């Protein structure tokens, strides 16, 4: 006797969302948000994103939405998580695939268009109310970022080619959301051979002595990106 395949009635749409973390020395870690100019959640802040077109891959869709809604083009975004609560969008059943990345925010001039009326950076510790389930999405991305930096040297590319060691310390404190043991951190980072002390000093902006400048060893950085390391041993 032949088995009858049941008919499945399914009406599900797929979207993508982008969690782009930006970093600069003055403002710390921020996330890129857009203000919606259409319903639902008209005039509320949200993550850049939208529906995946029939001919697009997920990566193509998230890259297009970033360009259209914020004027941002990013080389690399990593898939974060899939959000599929049936009630997450008031319009219909929508599954969203979220991507996240970390960039130097000063490298971008934001320009809102299509479904967005504004685009802006917001510090991750001072976010406005967010549309949909985007608060949960951002929290998931922050948790992933903090987990990732414990085994991969994320963030060194966010510093200037020559930097004060205090800038590296500040970056990691921002990423971790807490203080670190600076003396041990410096000693152990230097022991990895990742950071090189230069025979140069930064121009003094105050009456104090100018600080020594550092850079990172690109080959060692690439090696640690592949092989990983234990950040917990540095803190």
- Fold category of 156-234 in CATH: Arc Repressor Mutant, subunit A (1.10.10)
107 C-beta neighbours (distance < 10 Å), count: 11
pLDDT at residue 100, rounded to an integer = 95
For the domain with range 13-148, which CATH number is right: 3.40.50.300, 3.90.79.10, 3.40.50.720, 3.40.640.10?
A: 3.90.79.10
Tokens of residue 39, six digits = 């319903």
- Strands ordered across the beta sheet of 163-164: 163-164, 212-216, 195-201
pLDDT in 10s for each residue of the chain, 235 residues: 667 777 788 899 999 999 999 999 888 999 999 999 999 999 999 999 999 999 999 999 999 999 999 999 988 899 999 999 999 999 999 999 999 999 999 889 999 988 899 999 999 999 999 999 999 999 999 999 999 888 888 777 788 889 999 999 999 999 888 899 998 889 888 888 889 999 998 875 555 677 899 999 989 888 888 888 887 766 6
Q: Tokens for 105, please give them.
A: 């925010």
Give catalytic status of residue 118 as yes or no: yes
Residue 81: both structure tokens together: 């998580």
Name the strand (E) or helix (H) holding 135.
Answer: helix 134-148
Residue 195's beta-bridge partner residues? 216
Write the CB contacts of 216 (distance below 8 Å, at least 6 apart in sequence).
Answer: 156, 159, 194, 195, 196
Q: Do you find a cis peptide bond into 40, omega within 30 degrees of 0?
A: yes
Q: State the span(s) of the chain assigned CATH 1.10.10.10.
A: 156-234
Active-site residue identified among 56, 59, 78, 118: 118
Q: Map residue 45 onto helix, strand or coil.
A: strand
Beta carbons within 10 angstroms of residue 188's beta carbon: 17
- All CATH 3.90.79.10 domain ranges of the chain, comma separated, are 13-148
């Amino acid at each position: 006797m032949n088995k009858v395949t049941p008919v499945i009635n399914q009406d599900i749409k797929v979207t993508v969302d982008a969690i782009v973390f930006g970093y600069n020395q003055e403002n710390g870690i921020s996330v890129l948000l857009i203000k919606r100019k259409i319903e639902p959640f008209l005039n509320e802040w949200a993550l850049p994103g939208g529906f995946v077109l029939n001919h697009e891959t997920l990566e193509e869709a998230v890259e297009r939405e970033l360009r259209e809604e914020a004027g941002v083009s990013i080389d690399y975004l990593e898939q974060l998580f899939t959000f599929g609560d049936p009630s997450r969008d008031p319009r219909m059943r929508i599954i969203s695939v979220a991507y996240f990345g970390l960039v130097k925010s000063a490298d971008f001039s934001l320009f809102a268009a299509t479904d967005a009326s504004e685009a802006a950076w917001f510090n991750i510790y001072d976010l406005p109310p967010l549309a949909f389930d985007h608060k949960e999405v951002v929290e998931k991305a922050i948790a992933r970022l903090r987990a990732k930096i414990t085994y991969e040297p994320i963030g060194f590319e966010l510093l200037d080619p020559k930097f004060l060691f205090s800038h590296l310390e500040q970056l990691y404190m921002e990423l971790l959301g807490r203080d670190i043991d600076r003396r041990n951190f410096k000693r152990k980072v230097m022991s990895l051979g990742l950071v090189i002390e230069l025979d140069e000093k930064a121009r003094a902006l105050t009456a104090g002595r100018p600080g020594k400048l550092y850079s990172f060893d690109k080959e060692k950085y690439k090696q640690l990106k592949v092989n990983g390391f234990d950040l917990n041993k540095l803190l």
